[in-house]
Every structure is written in C-alpha cells, then in structure tokens.
Amino acid sequence: MQEFDFAILNWIQDNIRCDALDVIMPAITFLGNAGILWIAIALFMVVRKSTRKWGSMLCAGGALNGLIGNVLLKNLVARDRPCWINKDISMLVAIPKDYSFPSGHSMVSFMSATILMGYDKRIGIPAMILASLIAVSRLYLYVHFPTDVLCGTLIGIILGLVVLLAGKKIYGETLFERGE
C-alpha cells in the first residue's frame, strides 16, 4: 500500500507542484491547523442564540475528533509521515512531529463540514469544498499519505453524522427547523 501512496505523492510533486500552488497550499493547510478555523466557526455559533445548539455540536464533534484521531488512532497506528521517510522533497511547511494516520486536518474539516451541511447546505457546501481543499493540501505538502487523507475524510464524515444523530436525539426534531 505504501508504494501506491508514494506513487500518488510523487506524481503530485512531479506533475502538479508549481510556484503558485507553493504559496496557495500552505495557506489552505493553515486554515486546518489545530482545527482553528472550525473552532472559530463553532465559537461564533455558540455565542449566537439562534445557532447555539449547532455550535455546541461542532464543539462536541471537535473534542470527539481530537480524542479519536489525535490521541487514539495516531498513537495506535504510529505511521511515519511521508516526509520522514523521503527526505528528498523540499518542504513548504514545518515537518509535523506527530504520526501520519489519520490526517487530523481532513478529519476535523470533514466532521465540521458534515455538521454544517446538516445546519444549512448554503454553508455546508462551501465548507465541504474547503474541507476538500485542506485535505488535498496535505498531499501536496507531502505531510500525509493518500490513505491517511482518505481515512481521515471518512472518519470525519462518520463522526459528523454521529454528532448530527446525537444532536437530533438531544435536541429533538426541532433542531432542523430554521431559527433553532
């Protein structure tokens, strides 16, 4: 599997990497650093009475995401990052110190985007696009294998759906009516 992963990463480096993306991709990945963008959105929603329940679900999802992804899975799987193995690639961002699997940027981005999709598709669709760009940036920057990003994406979506189901149980059907 790692051969396949490296084939994709090296293809990106050989065929897509360019000066413009060398500036854009670190900026995109920065939006996912420590989930800061998603935390900011959650806090904005928490302080507004009309979106407080949704903000609390984003906060709960973020905590769940951190525990499952960064505390449990990364340390359980303990997969080296591609940039640790192939040191010939010129890095555009600082080399991360934690393990590679799963991609935390992808997990938190897709978890948040899934919850935001449940709130309002007009917000959820741009969030999904941004989550996709953040996930791709992790490949471009050579800090994750494609399987790290794919699994992070799937786990993030699943966690988002779990949080939506829990929110529906806790807050009831009225959660999905505008103004809740």
pLDDT of res. 113: 97
d(CA 67, CA 21): 32
Query: Which residues, other chains included, contact 72 with Cβ-Cβ below 8 Å and sequence gap of 6+?
Result: none
| DSSP assigned state of 89 | S
pLDDT at 180: 45
Q: Which CATH architecture has domain 2-174?
A: Up-down Bundle (1.20)
What pLDDT score does 174 carry?
60
Tens of pLDDT, residue by residue over 7-21, are 999 999 999 999 999
| Digit-coded pLDDT (tens) for 93-142 | 999 999 999 999 999 999 999 999 999 999 999 999 999 999 999 999 99
d(CA 110, CA 117): 10
Q: Is residue 71 pLDDT above 50, yes or no?
A: yes
Q: What residues does each domain of the chain span?
A: 2-174
Question: What whole-number distance in Å separates Cα of residue 31 and Cα of residue 52?
Answer: 23
Dist CA 14 CA 17 (whole Å)? 7
Structure confidence at residue 179 as a pLDDT band (50, 70, 90): very low
pLDDT in tens, 39-69: 999 999 999 998 999 999 999 999 999 999 9
Query: Which band of pLDDT confidence, cut at 50, 70 and 90, is reported for residue 1?
Result: confident
